[in-house]
Amino acid sequence: MSGTMEQLATLVLSQAEWSQNLEHASESQHLEMPLQSRSSTWGVPFSWFILVYANDRMEVVEANGQILTVRIQIPLTAARSRAERTLKMLAAMAPDLDLLTDLTDLLGWLEEFGEVGMLELDYGPVANRVHPDDSPADVHMGLECLAEGDFTGAAAAYRRLANRWMPIRQLARAN
């Protein structure tokens, strides 16, 4: 480490503490694990909202009154479980939905990882346009309605979701 970060580290830790922590960190098995990511420009794919709930750990990053991003973190095991449960329901109730294909692909990606890990949904710069975001709740409400055979309720939830994200996705085409 060099430059400003080294100066900051010496303010917080003694050289002995720094060396000890650095040695401990370099012995970690997790250093070998690569960071895996999926990205989407000008929006969050609706299938991703299936994996998160309002009570999951959320971090809102702000600066100068602007929301820079919102991150929602969940354990990989919970994400897989939510995806699997929803896939079963969609296969039975709405096998023609694109959401079924999207979620199948997403679950396949999640299954590439071990049991230990976290999944993070990071809104990036679009967070400032949607936070606080009811999209996860709308997706879950729509799926619940679908499971109960309430197609009107499912359509209303989808309409709320689409109305929230359509203006943001249109920015990709703006001149």
Q: Check residue 54 and report its DSSP letter.
A: T
The whole-number pLDDT of residue 121 equals 96
The whole-number pLDDT of residue 3 equals 54
The whole-number pLDDT of residue 31 equals 56
Q: What is the pLDDT along the chain (175 residues), one digit of tens a residue?
A: 555 555 656 666 677 776 776 676 666 565 555 667 788 888 899 999 999 998 999 999 999 999 999 999 999 999 999 999 999 999 999 999 999 999 999 999 999 988 888 999 999 999 999 999 999 999 999 999 999 999 999 999 999 999 999 999 998 888 6
Q: Rounded to two decimals, what is the model's pTM?
A: 0.78
Locate 137 and state its tokens: 């709740």
Cα–Cα distance list, 97 to 35, 37, 83, 89 (Å) = 30, 25, 15, 12
